[in-house]
């Protein structure tokens, strides 16, 4: 029913909110670090219990956002397109990810020319590489990704700063069937029209679930691991044959991310 996936995660050992680069981040709000770690370990253990492989990247004490491992690279067909971060606070994460891939047998690792924040803004379906722009990744990175992966890239304009990365507003449920769920108001009118055309049967999220970062989910094609507060998505997912797996990642929400943000997928 589903194939085991290969993920890369980075423990929130040094997670803090000391700067604000998205509207979710409030440096005045305390983070419960032990709780963040427990919640992260629970997600990692859930993946493993479902039969997925989770590799772990060593956290760097100087990089508090490194727990959001999805931003460090995009891996498709075993080829790695590294990241180049929009904000200087996260810049050094890119090299740590490239080094990990090089050390783990990936022969094609590209240091990108243009700004892209990995799977924050790139989502993979059988037909497309969906690519967000507007807040973080440069539109120029879309051409670079298309050339590198040899897959058609489709640019989507994000317009609401709360949904600053594509993976906060759209989730691929089943790549093979081009099945997605998304929150339309996060996109420009033209991009909404494009999404309707490409994915006429998509699951459309409502605002409370989008605000709970319910779209920041990871699907293996059957199980959909998503923030537990996004309860409005559970039944629609079940009706489509998926199994929602609620995850408690409230501490990591304080940095503006949830399940997908902390999970990089290594596609062979």
* Catalytically active residues, by annotation: 165, 261
Binding ligand ARG (rule: CB under 6 A), the pick from 39, 71, 125, 141 is 71
Contacting ligand ARG within 229-268 (CB under 6 A) = 255-257, 261
The yes or no reply on residue 59 touching ligand ARG (CB under 6 A) is no
Contact flag: residue 168 with ligand ARG (CB under 6 A): yes
Q: What does the CA dihedral 109, 110, 116, 119 come to, rounded to 10 degrees? A: -20
**What gap in Å lies between CA 90 and CA 239, rounded to an integer?**
39
The rounded Cα 41 to chain-centroid distance in angstroms is 18
CB of 201 to ligand ARG, least distance (A): 25
Interaction between residue 227 and ligand ARG (CB under 6 A): no
Please, which residues have CB within 8 angstroms of residue 69's CB and are 6 or more apart in sequence? 8, 9, 10, 57, 97, 261, 262, 263, 264
Among the residue ranges 91-99, 165-173, 185-193, 224-232, the one whose residues contact ligand ARG (CB under 6 A): 165-173
CB-wise, 88 or 200, nearer to ligand ARG? 88
Closest CA to 172 of 159, 147, 154: 154
State the minimum distance, in angstroms, from the CB of residue 90 to ligand ARG: 6
Minimal distance, residue 246 CB to ligand ARG, in Å: 19
Q: Which of 5, 142, 165, 223 binds ligand ARG (CB under 6 A)?
A: 165
Please state the closest distance from residue 96 (CB atom) to ligand ARG, in A: 15
Please report the sign of the dihedral spanned by the C-alpha atoms of residue 229, residue 235, residue 239, residue 245.
positive
Interface with ligand ARG, residue 225, by CB under 6 A: no
CB of residue 54 vs ligand ARG: minimum separation in angstroms?
17
Residues 1-30 that bind ligand ARG (CB under 6 A): 21-22, 25
Residues 89-118 that bind ligand ARG (CB under 6 A): 90
Between CA 89 and CA 62 the distance in angstroms is: 9
Residue located via tokens 């032990």? 34
Establish if 70 lies at the interface with ligand ARG (CB under 6 A).
yes
120 lies in the site for ligand ARG, by CB under 6 A: yes
Q: Does 167 interact with ligand ARG (rule: CB under 6 A)? A: yes
Instruction: Give the pair of three-digit tokens for residue 112.
Output: 């990108």
Among 7, 44, 52, 65, binds ligand ARG (CB under 6 A): 65
Can residue 170 be called a binding residue for ligand ARG (CB under 6 A)? no
249: how many CB neighbours lie within 10 A of its CB?
Answer: 25
Between residues 55 and 240, which has the closer beta carbon with respect to ligand ARG? Answer: 55
Residues that bind ligand ARG (CB under 6 A): 21-22, 25, 65, 68, 70-71, 90, 120, 165, 167-168, 255-257, 261
């Amino acid at each position: 029913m589903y194939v085991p996936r290969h993920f890369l995660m980075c423990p929130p050992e040094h997670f803090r909110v000391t700067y604000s680069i998205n509207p979710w981040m409030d440096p005045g709000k305390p983070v419960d670090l032990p709780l963040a770690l427990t919640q992260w370990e629970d997600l990692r253990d859930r993946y493993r219990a479902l039969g997925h492989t989770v590799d772990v990247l060593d956290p760097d004490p100087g990089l508090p956002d490194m727990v959001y491992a999805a931003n460090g690279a995009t891996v498709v067909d075993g080829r790695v397109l590294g990241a180049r971060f929009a904000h200087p606070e996260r810049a050094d994460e890119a090299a740590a990810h490239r080094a990990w891939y090089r050390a783990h047998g990936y022969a094609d690792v590209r240091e990108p020319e243009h700004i892209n924040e990995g799977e924050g803004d790139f989502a993979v379906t059988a037909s497309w590489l969906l690519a967000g722009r507007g807040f973080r990744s440069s539109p120029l990175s879309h051409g670079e990704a298309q050339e590198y992966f040899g897959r058609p890239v489709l640019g989507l304009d994000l317009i609401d700063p709360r949904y600053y990365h594509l993976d906060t507003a759209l989730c691929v449920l089943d790549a093979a069937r081009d099945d997605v769920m998304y929150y339309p108001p996060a996109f420009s009118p033209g991009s909404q029209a494009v999404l309707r055309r490409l994915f006429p049967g998509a699951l459309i999220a409502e605002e409370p679930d989008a605000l709970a970062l319910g779209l920041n989910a990871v699907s293996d094609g059957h199980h959909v691991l998503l923030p537990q507060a996004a309860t409005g998505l559970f039944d629609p997912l079940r009706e489509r044959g998926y199994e929602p797996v609620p995850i408690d990642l409230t501490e990591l929400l304080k940095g503006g991310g949830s399940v997908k943000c902390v999970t990089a997928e290594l596609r062979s």
